[in-house]
Amino acid sequence: MLPWFDVVEILTDDYCAVLRSCAVGGLIGGIVFDALHLHCARKSECDRIYTFNVRDFRAIAPKELEDKITAP
């Protein structure tokens, strides 16, 4: 295992809630995976979220995660 990473379990209820939220928000395609990643980040109370897709992640991130999103 990598020392700076944790595996986050996503339960069926979590997955369904994210999919429902995306459907209500009209989100389709790859951004659904971004939403799942953000859900796991919130669930694990991460300190930082690294992505090459900062703009899209910030667009759908809850307020408490926006400042944690950055490029590597």
Query: Between 40 and 5, whose confidence is greater?
Result: 40
Summarised one tens digit per residue, pLDDT across range 23-59 is 999 999 999 999 999 999 999 999 999 999 999 999 9
pTM of the model as a whole: 0.86
What is the structure's pLDDT at 59? Answer: 93
What is the structure's pLDDT at 70? Answer: 96
Cα separation, 66 vs 15, in Å, equals 21
| Phi, psi angle pair for 31, to nearest 5° | -65, -20
Give 59's contacts (C-beta < 8 A, 6+ positions apart).
none
The DSSP element (H or E) to which 35 belongs, if any, is helix 31-43
CB 32 within 8 A of CB 15: no
Q: What is the mean predicted confidence (pLDDT) over 59-68? A: 94
